[in-house]
Amino acid sequence: MEKTYALITGASQGLGKAFVLELAKRKINPILVSLPGEGLAFIADEVKALGMEAHCYETDLTQKENIVALADWVNDRFPLSILINNAGCGGTQSFRNASVDYLDRIIQLNVRATSLLTHQLLPNLSRQKCAYVLNVGSVAAYSPIGYKTVYPASKAFVHSFTRGLYQEFADSNVFFSVVNPGPMMTNSDSCSRLQQQGRFATMGLLSPEQVAAISIRQLFKRDTLIMLNWVNRLTWMVMKFLPIYIRLPLLTNAIKKEISRA
């Protein structure tokens, strides 16, 4: 049988790791990408235990030359059928107090790396009989939020970027999809923070493994905007129809309270 390869960025933990293992269970060989020193070899061993190949590439995707080098490495070695742009970063800070490096990292990783890696791998994807690109956004894409500012804007870019590509390539063999997860309990810090926000924040909460499984299933069903569960759908509807003059102060005040408790 012809081998199928998928590249996953941000593959060392959380949702990225869950994507890697979900694809391996589906008999797809993952190419794992993360920053150096994040333990990709241990995840690769889990993939191999499932009977699949695992290829690791460590790099910093905030640097343009590293993105190009990664794409060249993949294009020279693998017929790529799936690209999952999962790597991203964010945070909660006053814009006034945020450092230049903090703001720049969000923009470079969430916006530039997603755009350029997709662009550089597209010829490879286009050569396959059927190919998929899944971009990981966030429910934050649905509204601006004070004290987060750049992060929701970057995820709104990912959402718009993906929907535009979906339409542009509608008649091609490359299918584009975006998923906008809500909060996930990926570690003890996120668990504690979510529990402090009360019952509403934890309603319908999904694990990274659940998000990965639903996302891959819906991707292969050619669902261009993946809704994970009823809470995800409800959030989208509230954000879409609640006027911005109500939505924006509500969200900003909630984030402001989170900062004050920290």
184-242 residue pLDDT tens? 766 545 555 555 555 555 566 899 999 999 999 999 999 999 999 998 899 889 988 89
The Cα–Cα gap between 150 and 103 comes to 7
User: Strand 29-34 vs strand 225-226: parallel, antiparallel, or unpaired?
Assistant: unpaired
**Cβ count near 150 (within 10 Å):** 20
pLDDT at 188: 46
Reported as a single tens digit per residue, the pLDDT across 94-140 is: 999 999 999 999 999 999 999 999 999 999 999 999 999 999 999 99
User: Residue 80: pLDDT above 90?
Assistant: yes
Residue 255 has pLDDT above 70, yes or no: yes
Average pLDDT over residues 1-17: 94
> Is the Cβ–Cβ distance between 146 and 105 less than 8 Å?
no
Answer yes or no: is pLDDT of 180 > 60: yes
pTM, full prediction: 0.92
Residue 66: CATH number of its domain: 3.40.50.720
Q: How many domains does the chain have?
A: 1
Query: Is 41 buried (19+), middle (13-18) or exposed (0-12) by CB count in 10 A?
Result: exposed
pLDDT averaged over every residue in the chain: 92
Interatomic CA distance for residues 239 and 142, integer angstroms: 6
141-151 average pLDDT score = 95
Residue 126: closest CA among 70, 155, 168: 168
Residue 155: how many other CB atoms lie within 10 Å: 26
pLDDT at 258 (0 to 100): 76
The pLDDT of residue 203 is 62
The percent of residues above 90 in pLDDT, for the chain, comes to: 82
Domain that holds residue 224: 5-261
- What pLDDT does 174 receive? 98
